[in-house]
Structure 1
Amino acid sequence: MTITIRGQILAALRNNPGLNSARIATMIGMTTKKISGPLSTLFADGLI
Structure 2
Amino acid sequence: MDASGEAIILGGLEPGQHKVLIELADPTHNVITSETVTLMLPNPKR
Q: Normalising to structure 1: TM-score of the pair?
A: 0.24
**Structure showing greater Rg:** 2
* Higher RCO by CA contacts (8 Å cutoff, separation 6 or greater): 1
- The structure with more helix, counted as a fraction of residues: 1
